[in-house]
Structure 1
């Protein structure tokens, strides 16, 4: 059998049955010396050569004491040697040794007596440099103190991810005794889903040797199973001095306070972003339903999984809350859910009227003017927050587990209630959520109330304006007439557009369209005055230019400006007399020809004073159509007016079968649903004059 060379290691594996050395002996570099009974050196290890400086050939056969010990210590050493050989008791200690180079070194010794099969005694001396031994002892002491007393968690695992050692701090974090860790796998101690990622990182470190520092892990352990904690985990691979993998060590620092502080800061930033988002997205129009939908859109899914906005019906009808008689009557105006859910059918759909039972959160908000939050919804709570038993069943099936109701209060008057709930989001509502919801409800309530107020003012103005517009006569000699009026939409108020059809003597008919500059009730009132004046002046049988001159004076006295087109058609002569005061030109449509804009002397708007108006006379034939309109039909904020007028004439080619169809088509194709200006449209079609 060939002896192993110095420093070689047994091969690993089942064939040899050997395992890799720990490396501690190599670290200490322990020297072995075998002495005969008389003190002569019989065997000398390579480590002894390194420690004492003498080669084997120089040491074997020599007496150990004279070779290694200073003269002043030789007697004491010989006496100790004799005692070991006589009694068989081991001796250990340290004393100075003379090195071959003449220096003196402190060496740690352990001497023991050996007996061979013949009964002869030998002495085995194990020696190591005392400085090296002390260095290792200090490291071991430091490691023990660090492991047992450090406030941070420390653990050592073998390559199979089984615990070999763990300190008390980490055992306390896990909520599992130290003794129950040893021999068990990492995932047996920490089975929760958040620790799966930590195990993946550990295996990566074990495979690559690349350490991972400050990996954040958030989860729950047996020490506190109801609360999330956060840890910073640093993982390192352990290797011996030969590079063989022993396992891995990981260090755990509890950073829960830092994690919670950062989480609160993130939540605060999120709330600020949500409030900023709400300020830009809520109240973009003065439409009640749209404003309520904007509120719901902002809240879902950032704050809640589902939101419902209900307004008091009395506020919508009259502008004020009427809570004196019976339960509050709500009208659902907006519903929003983050995803398809059974809860959709449990929430009252928009447009519906509903009266909630006395214990419902909405009823509570109306009575107390205070919000109501149910952090953890139970079975009884579901019956309370639902509109009925079937709705409660649907909410339970949807998984609703937390709920809150917030009153909508504007100008010290409650106008409705906002309901919020979570199902898929596992976190219950907390006080910060309630504060945020109340802030957003307060801001949105003012926008909704403004929309309600605008709706009532707008309704009054529209009613006034429509009352000032004429009722078209059933028919005029030689004319088929159709007219339309459309008020402004979106956030604009009603304007001052009007049309009129006035019967004159001799079967003649006066046609007028006009537009008072400005909007609101005052513009509508001014329009009514001008229309009344136009009707009065028409009875005086004045030509169109004289009519506009008088209207110019009246408009100037009212401190307003207006455009107007006034025309008189005589069916017996088939003549049209027309004059314009700054108004858009009418369109003449004739069979077999392209529609054309009438090139009239435009004149100045009414109210400028002192500028004369001119009359233009046209000959008309049966089938000819005259299209009069206000600028709301063709003007937009982004399109050139020439292009829009071209669109108007294109839509008049070919003409529809009736003037009514033409009116509807023009409004449908040219006017945007949210047009910012009102529109007056008047179409007259020349008909053959019936015999007297």
Structure 2
């Protein structure tokens, strides 16, 4: 036998070119035994020592069959050995082998004939423990079956993240054949930001050895490029038995159904939140423009990137839908965008009147009373939804790609249209979005219609109220006069506040300020009746207390209304004021060099209650003195105590104005809230010297002699002086 020795330089060269060994053969413990032609052992590997229990010295030179086999198996083994040596055909199989410790083990063999350069034959036997081999076969079979038939995606990638193994499930998820994966990287198969993150996760797991479990990814693959899919990705580093990294294994579970169900649930919750938000925020006032803006604020940005709310002008003018021949006339009420955009210039600004062409979505809604959904806007559709060519250009430049128009329908009639569009939001409007928009529009339409109705009623009441108030002369004998009436703000109803200045005989002047409790047209009508009655009674030249007594009876007949009132008569010749109050806030008296003061009057009871007499108080009112009469709308608020507000009134009046007109303007400016919820009637008079020395007429003298009286059966009260 001749076996040449390898030179050291050759060994060094091969070692430099060799790759790292696999650990599988070490795991199997494959033993090598070389037999000479007569069956004696010539070579004995360390693995053979471990497998059979005999050392090299105990085995080499011995006949293999007697050493390793029980007597009953030796003949069969010798026959098989002879056949291999004679024919050169290899043999594989298992034999029971006697271990050195006396036990018997099944050993898997691979026997083959070798021939050296001299033509001599040898037998090489490769052996391993059959139980270990079967265990590995079962694990491999199980792995192959799981990989091939598992419904989840499985793959093995090398340390460069190139695919080595891909199961059919993963290939189907990717939409790429199994064979087209091999040797290619993850980013060669899958594109998109989601898969960049997946590659990062794989590299981290490969470097750290820490598994990544159930990392969710959302993206699109060649299998379904038009829809998002979701996967739960798990990554594990693969190592040999020495701990060296072999690559990674990935487990990919398609969780698209779960992802879509979660998205649908989230979308449903968002719709509920949006509806609840709309219920809370839309219709907080009875102001048309504000209600329309509230609708726009709710819709943007949660549902749309931009919205417009238009109302039929006929509804605003008359409260009714009037669709005559020709295009409908709209008034823009509200516009909102989620961000600054050129598209805003394509939308009609609030307050502007406009018409739309017959094919415009707004015209469609008015004509059919049905919403219009355009999921994808091409150039032709952009021209349809735009007011003109320039608007279409602006919408296209802003990236508007989907549109909805929803009619505003209240009490069975269409009153306007809400238009919605998306640009930055890449998702087109769908049927669910349309349903939500219709629900919000329906709720808002009723609130807008209520606001329109309220506005018409309020305008009628205010017109009636103003028509019933007097046209005041700026002066009366001995008096400078200024008065103001301010109705409640637009989202509150007009009340029944009034003032009056009535000329009397003898240069005297009657002054009245009153407030009918209530609002709207009925309160204004009641106010007109009381003012007419006051003027009629004033002509009878009665004491203020008796005037209030008669007004009390009249108001009682106007049930259920009651009113407060201050009635006074000024006599410039005597420089005296006779005044009585029916439950009203006290007037303010301003004297030169003194602090303003509230007149200390018997408060009395409101008109319409009845049964309690009123009292007249007489005070001196000399030239330079001022008297401020007002209704509670000037000083009452919903949050401040009335005493504090009256103190504020006195503080303001402490700085005198040059004219009564200036006093009126300053009080309204400083005391009245811009959104005042109540009417204000304000009357300011300033006593002045008489320009002529006219003597009082007989009726005036008679009145002056009366001074102060009380109505009813009670004796006249003693006059009180505020001077």
Assess same fold via TM > 0.5: yes
Partner residue in 1 for 2:495: 495
Pair 1:635 & 2:639 matched: no
CA distances 1:197-247 after superposition (whole Å, capped 9, x unpaired): 211211221122222222221111122222222222221111111111111
Classify 1:12/1:671 alpha carbon distance in 2 versus 1 (closer, same or farther; 3 Å). Answer: farther
CA distance in 2, matches of 1:15, 1:492: 97
What's the offset of the Cα at 1:353? 0.5
CA distances 1:289-313 after superposition (whole Å, capped 9, x unpaired): 1111111111101111010011100
SS in 2 for 1:195: helix
Partner residue in 1 for 2:247: 247
What's the offset of the Cα at 1:127? 0.7
CA distance in 2, matches of 1:14, 1:48: 26
Of 12-21 and 54-63, more deviation after overlay is shown by 12-21
**5+ residue gaps in structure 2?**
1-10, 694-723
CA distance in 2, matches of 1:397, 1:649: 61
SS in 2 for 1:270: helix
CA distance in 1, matches of 2:642, 2:610: 27
Partner residue in 1 for 2:524: 524
Pair 1:589 & 2:595 matched: no
Pair 1:121 & 2:121 matched: yes
What's the offset of the Cα at 1:88? 2.9
SS in 2 for 1:134: helix
What's the offset of the Cα at 1:608? 1.9
Partner residue in 1 for 2:465: 465
Classify 1:540/1:12 alpha carbon distance in 2 versus 1 (closer, same or farther; 3 Å). Answer: farther
CA distances 1:603-662 after superposition (whole Å, capped 9, x unpaired): 111122121222222212322211111111111111111111111112223112222222
CA distance in 2, matches of 1:209, 1:139: 23
SS in 1 for 2:16: coil
Partner residue in 2 for 1:232: 232
1:304-453 equivalences under 5 Å are 304-453=304-453
CA distance in 2, matches of 1:20, 1:636: 90
Partner residue in 2 for 1:576: 577
What's the offset of the Cα at 1:59? 2.5
What's the offset of the Cα at 1:102? 2.1
CA distance in 2, matches of 1:156, 1:656: 93
CA distance in 1, matches of 2:13, 2:545: 118
Classify 1:183/1:482 alpha carbon distance in 2 versus 1 (closer, same or farther; 3 Å). Answer: same
What's the offset of the Cα at 1:352? 0.5
Would the aligned equivalents of 1:12 and 1:19 in 2 still touch at CA under 8 Å? no
Partner residue in 2 for 1:551: 551
Would the aligned equivalents of 2:455 and 2:490 in 1 still touch at CA under 8 Å? no
Classify 1:15/1:479 alpha carbon distance in 2 versus 1 (closer, same or farther; 3 Å). Answer: farther
What's the offset of the Cα at 1:168? 2.4
Would the aligned equivalents of 2:306 and 2:422 in 1 still touch at CA under 8 Å? yes
Would the aligned equivalents of 2:474 and 2:482 in 1 still touch at CA under 8 Å? no
CA distances 1:159-203 after superposition (whole Å, capped 9, x unpaired): 222112212222222222222222221112112122122112112
Would the aligned equivalents of 1:84 and 1:90 in 2 still touch at CA under 8 Å? yes
What's the offset of the Cα at 1:685? 1.3
Partner residue in 2 for 1:83: 83
Partner residue in 2 for 1:100: 100
SS in 2 for 1:638: coil
Partner residue in 1 for 2:214: 214
What's the offset of the Cα at 1:70? 1.2
CA distance in 1, matches of 2:12, 2:403: 65
What's the offset of the Cα at 1:15? 8.1
Would the aligned equivalents of 2:488 and 2:676 in 1 still touch at CA under 8 Å? yes
CA distance in 1, matches of 2:663, 2:20: 100
SS in 2 for 1:415: strand
Would the aligned equivalents of 1:216 and 1:231 in 2 still touch at CA under 8 Å? yes
Would the aligned equivalents of 1:634 and 1:641 in 2 still touch at CA under 8 Å? yes
Classify 1:192/1:13 alpha carbon distance in 2 versus 1 (closer, same or farther; 3 Å). Answer: farther
What's the offset of the Cα at 1:157? 1.2
SS in 2 for 1:132: helix
What's the offset of the Cα at 1:13? 13
What's the offset of the Cα at 1:120? 3.8
1:23-42 equivalences under 5 Å are 23-42=23-42
SS in 2 for 1:179: coil
**5+ residue gaps in structure 1?**
1-10
Of 452-461 and 97-106, more deviation after overlay is shown by 97-106
Partner residue in 2 for 1:5: none
Give aligned pairs, total: 682
What's the offset of the Cα at 1:470? 1.2
1:258-273 equivalences under 5 Å are 258-273=258-273
Partner residue in 2 for 1:653: 654
What's the offset of the Cα at 1:406? 0.7
Would the aligned equivalents of 1:12 and 1:20 in 2 still touch at CA under 8 Å? no
1:664-679 equivalences under 5 Å are 664-679=665-680
CA distance in 2, matches of 1:663, 1:120: 134
Would the aligned equivalents of 2:308 and 2:332 in 1 still touch at CA under 8 Å? yes
CA distance in 2, matches of 1:79, 1:428: 82
Would the aligned equivalents of 1:233 and 1:252 in 2 still touch at CA under 8 Å? yes
Pair 1:55 & 2:51 matched: no
Would the aligned equivalents of 2:474 and 2:480 in 1 still touch at CA under 8 Å? no
Pair 1:563 & 2:567 matched: no
What's the offset of the Cα at 1:39? 2.1
Of 637-646 and 609-618, more deviation after overlay is shown by 609-618
SS in 2 for 1:16: helix
Classify 1:269/1:96 alpha carbon distance in 2 versus 1 (closer, same or farther; 3 Å). Answer: same
Of 254-263 and 518-527, more deviation after overlay is shown by 254-263
CA distances 1:651-689 after superposition (whole Å, capped 9, x unpaired): 223112222222122112211122221111111111222
Partner residue in 1 for 2:697: none
Would the aligned equivalents of 1:13 and 1:19 in 2 still touch at CA under 8 Å? no
What's the offset of the Cα at 1:436? 1.0
CA distance in 2, matches of 1:676, 1:534: 27
SS in 2 for 1:395: helix
Of 345-354 and 509-518, more deviation after overlay is shown by 509-518
Backbone CA RMSD of aligned residues = 1.8
SS in 1 for 2:272: helix
What's the offset of the Cα at 1:266? 1.6
TM-score (norm 1): 0.96
Classify 1:63/1:490 alpha carbon distance in 2 versus 1 (closer, same or farther; 3 Å). Answer: farther
Partner residue in 2 for 1:175: 175
Partner residue in 2 for 1:6: none
What's the offset of the Cα at 1:548? 1.1
Pair 1:542 & 2:542 matched: yes
What's the offset of the Cα at 1:275? 0.9
Pair 1:278 & 2:278 matched: yes
